[in-house]
Every structure is written in structure tokens, then in C-alpha cells.
Amino acid sequence: MSGALIDWFGHAARDLPWRAPETSAWGILVSEFMSQQTQVERVIPHWLEWMERWPTPSALAADEPGEAVRAWKRLGYPRRALWLHRAAVEIAERHGDEVPADVDALLALTGIGPYTARAVAVFAFGDTHPVVDTNTRRVIARAVHGKAAAGMPAARDLDDMTALLPGEREAAAVFNAAAMELGATVCTARAPKCGDCPIAELCEWRGAGYPENAPAKRPKQASFEGSDRQARGKIMHLLRAATAAVDPVAALEAAAEGSSGGTTRDATQPQRALDSLIADGLVVEFEGRLRLP
């Protein structure tokens, strides 16, 4: 399986800017932060702008955290921008402005969990670790276990990927990327393109006749429309666009405005959204007004 996937990746991989050979470990780290729960196509222009403005951790660390939040724009989950700024400060101060290669050192940085630590160690430094995201889990579920979809994340996922990794260091890194790419572009959740799959002949799910045997799905996230997340986003949009500190009343009014021009049904939502942003450190109260950190 690994050989077929690696060969396929050599000609089918998307031309993503952070895959360029000259990309620094910092650039790869930034791409991993930005790509969490976000479509790659949305990430590309933000990553290019970010790397032009802040080509090193120390360049970002020298700016205020609020500038990172502002530059994050509408990528979603803006706490990632705040965490990335904190990680940049830590890298600049503790590691001489160089992203560490060791997984444990990466885990000690703000905002970096096991997946991101392994991904940076593999894609930036060529270390041998299993890197498993949602796309990889789907490929393994279908090709190896004959399931229509992956279940909830589990420790077994890493064991499965470890068993598939080639023994040669460089090949293992490429295979990690290839499995993700296959899940993202061919072995997709809703409409898999089995005719384009380089491992179709080896796929247990296909061989079994595509049984409807998907594990129970996780509960769906509540709709974004009308949610606290949407109200938070409206406040953040107002503050990112502002050139001066903002009156809290204006922030609450922005949060209350509904998509159709009316107001939210939940009268407590605007204040709740604002309070949560302050608690997360994304909004700062200063002399009775609001600003980015």
C-alpha cells in the first residue's frame, strides 16, 4: 500500500505553498495552526500574507498579540491566532528563534497538541512518527478495516498508521502526507472517487461491496446561524476593522444584529459572547472601551 500511495502522491499532490522545499519549519508550523478545522483553500491566502509579514517567530513576537488576531481575519477559531503568537514568543525566547524538532519540546509550546507536534516533527524535520488527521483516519477505516467511515478518534488510530509506515525515514514522511492527501481529495467522506484511487484494489471496503457499516456518528455541532459563535464573530469583525478602541455598546449592538437585519432572539447572547471573548483573552477592556489584546 505504501509504495502505491507514495508514487501517486508524487504526481497528484496539490501544489500547496508550504510544501515548497524552501519552506521553513516556522512556515510549516503556521500552516498546521491555520489548517485546523479549516479548508486548505481558505488557508492559502492567509498563510502567504502571514509569512510575508512575519517570516520568523521573532517577527511575530515583536508585534502585539492583537495584530495576530487582526491578521487572522475570518479563518475562524481566533484563539488559534492568540496561541500562535504566544508560541512565537516562546520559540524566540527559549529556542533561539528556531522551531524545535523534538516532539516533547513542541508539545511544551502554547497551542500545540499531539497531532500538531507530530506533524511539524515529520513535515518540517523528516522524523518518523504517525501523523493522523480526519482524512487519514477515513482512508485507514475504509482500506484496512472495511468500514464506510472512521469512528471516534482513538489510540488505535496511531497504532494503525504506525503499522503502515515504511521503514525508510523519508518514505515514512511522504506516506504520512500521501494518506492525508488521498482522504482530502479522493477518498472523501461523501463522494469517494474510487476510480481515481491508487489503492482501490487493496481497499477492504470496496472489496466488500461498499457496505453501509459506518460507526455511530458524533453529535452534530449546533448550527452557526444564530449561535454564540456567530455573535462572537461579529464582535471580532468590528474590533478587527476598528482603528481605535470601541464602545462596549457598539460591540453588543453588533453581536445582537441578526442576519436578516433584526436582532437575536436571545437577549443575553451579546453580553455572553462579549464576556467569553474577554475571558479567552481575545478582547481587552481598557478605560471603559474594548480593543484587541
DSSP reduced 3-state for 291? strand
Please report the sign of the dihedral spanned by the C-alpha atoms of residue 65, residue 67, residue 71, residue 76. positive
Residue 259 grid coordinates = 442576519
Known catalytic residue: 32? Answer: yes
DSSP reduced 3-state for 85? helix
Kindly list the distances between the CA atom of residue 52 and the CA atoms of 59, 122, 173, 293, in Å, as whole numbers in the listed order: 10, 24, 27, 22
Query: Containing H/E element for 229?
Result: helix 228-241
DSSP reduced 3-state for 228? helix
Residue located via cell numbers 524552501: 22
d(CA 118, CA 270): 38
Catalytic residue among 32, 41, 257, 285: 32
Kindly list the distances between the CA atom of residue 15 and the CA atoms of 21, 52, 58, 135, 180, in Å, as whole numbers in the listed order: 12, 18, 28, 18, 14
Reported as half-sphere exposure (CB side, CA atoms, 13 A), residue 203 has a value of 25
Catalytic residues: 32
